[in-house]
Structure 1
Amino acid sequence: MQRNWNLVKTDDSSFDAGIGFRAAVGLICLSVDRASVADLRNWLSFVEGVEMLVTRVPMDKVADAASLAAMGDHLTKAAQLLASSGRLDAMEFSCTSGTAAIGIERVHEALSAAQPGIPVVTPIEAAARGSRRWRRGGFRYSRHTIKKPPTWSRITSSPKALRSTAVRHSTLMATSK
């Protein structure tokens, strides 16, 4: 039997640019968190070429100040796991109460220890930035009307723009609950 391997004809030598050709966003969430991953995946689904990397930190079934603060010991290892996949343009720690218990500075230090120079965002910082923008009247959309955020073309322009987009995501998630 003779085989014809020329069944697919194309002028383009490549089929696509690959996974994460625009950006790679790392999400660090709690072992018991089910919402953050789905929310970010849904939000990023509008953008072609953005890879979402996810890792988790251990969390007790009961959330108290001690268990939330204990997560801080696992953040550097979690960020190392994200970074082991190659490209990483921004990291987000998705636990608001964990950030409060650990401290914003310590969260930044722990994540930056694994990946220096990668922008880090927390829900508290995003909420603060969103509040300032809200007071200035800068929000032009709500969780009920949003289909595509207005800045999709900016997501690839620079790490600063990517951080801004990650902050905007966290702000939307914080204000929509």
Structure 2
Amino acid sequence: MTAQIDIRVSAIKPALDARPLKKRVGLIILATDHTTEPDFQRMVAGPDIGVYVARIPFANPVTPDNLRAMQPSLTEAAVLILPGEELDVICYSCTSASVVIGDAEIEAAIQAAKPGVPVVTPPLAGVHGLRALGAKRISVLTPYTVETSRPMVDYFAGHDFDIASFTCLGLDDDRDMARISPAALVELARDAIAADADALFISCTAVRAALAAAEIEQATGRPLVSSNLASAWSCLRLCGDDTPRPEFGRLMTMPMARG
């Protein structure tokens, strides 16, 4: 039985804000990703910044061919993030795929859906972060196999970094990569960094390095740049948020060069 209640339309017209939140960060992540979304909620989302997520298909194992297969999904994923509305930045959260597909190709695919939006990829964010810290000679730690790691050597060398050492863990499933404990990462970082390296880059958005940033820097005596740290830092700075967050390591206290 339907209750007989009169429903009235208010005569008061509410004022509408231009946006529920001042800044909007779009985030495109893998269907299998356990780590990026919590990291961005922890490091990027706040009273003035919203993080809006779309997931795209991905099939393990992590190989160059499987990574490259995600490229056709990028435009569609960008369309699904607040359709018809502007975003301040979009991050495609896969380091190894960004390397094998290419930063420019990823930017073009995303901007086909969101023209003019700044696009962040983890490896290019890593390059900007390492430069902000003044690093020229770096050590790199990845969770991948040698096959998947090798293109990253060329990527950083192509951006004029000297590679002091490169260590990989030989894993081929991103769900296992997400299960490496932050405590284990501290010991892995201590083992991976070369004595003459200016900084350490830990690759992979699945890896929970951001949770151990301060401990890794204390253990190695050098600054850390990880995929999610660099991406979050870039997104914050592109949103105009320059607030230092030293609990996430030295990078999160640095400004980012504009232009």
Which residue of structure 2 aligns with residue 59 of structure 1? 58
Do the aligned partners of 1:120 and 1:163 also contact (CA within 8 Å) in 2?
A: no
Cα displacement (A) at 1:61: 2.0
1:135-146 superposed matches below 5 A: 135=134, 143-144=213-214
Counterpart amino acid of 2:39?
Answer: D
Which residue of structure 2 aligns with residue 78 of structure 1? 77
Which residue of structure 2 aligns with residue 38 of structure 1? 38
2:90, 2:125 → 1: CA distance? 13
Gaps of 5+ in 1: 1-12, 137-141, 146-158
Which residue of structure 1 aligns with residue 238 of structure 2? 162
1:160, 1:144 → 2: CA distance? 19
Which residue of structure 1 aligns with residue 101 of structure 2? 102
Extract structure 1 runs of 4+ deviating beyond 6 A.
none
Which residue of structure 1 aligns with residue 193 of structure 2? none
1:35-71 CA deviation, whole Å, 9 max, x = no partner?
00000011124x3121110001110021111110000
Counterpart amino acid of 2:30?
Answer: L
Percent same amino acid at aligned positions? 30
Under a length normalisation based on structure 1, what TM-score does the superposition of the two structures give?
A: 0.67
1:161, 1:28 → 2: CA distance? 18
Cα displacement (A) at 1:123: 0.5
Cα displacement (A) at 1:88: 1.2
Closer, same or farther in 2 for the Cα pair 1:98/1:135, shift >3 Å? same
Q: If each structure's helix is expressed as a fraction of its own residues, which one has the higher value?
A: 1
Cα displacement (A) at 1:83: 4.0
2:31, 2:131 → 1: CA distance? 31
1:70-118 CA deviation, whole Å, 9 max, x = no partner?
0001000001111416341110011000101211111011001111111
Closer, same or farther in 2 for the Cα pair 1:61/1:164, shift >3 Å? farther
Do the aligned partners of 1:18 and 1:49 also contact (CA within 8 Å) in 2?
A: no
Do the aligned partners of 1:28 and 1:93 also contact (CA within 8 Å) in 2?
A: yes
Alignment RMSD: 3.6
1:118-177 CA deviation, whole Å, 9 max, x = no partner?
1101001111011111126xxxxx9329xxxxxxxxxxxxx99526769x99xx79x89x
Under a length normalisation based on structure 2, what TM-score does the superposition of the two structures give?
A: 0.47
3-state DSSP class of the match of 1:19?
Answer: coil
3-state DSSP class of the match of 1:37?
Answer: helix
Do the aligned partners of 1:24 and 1:52 also contact (CA within 8 Å) in 2?
A: yes
Which residue of structure 2 aligns with residue 152 of structure 1? none
Gaps of 5+ in 2: 1-13, 136-211, 216-234, 253-259
Closer, same or farther in 2 for the Cα pair 1:87/1:116, shift >3 Å? closer
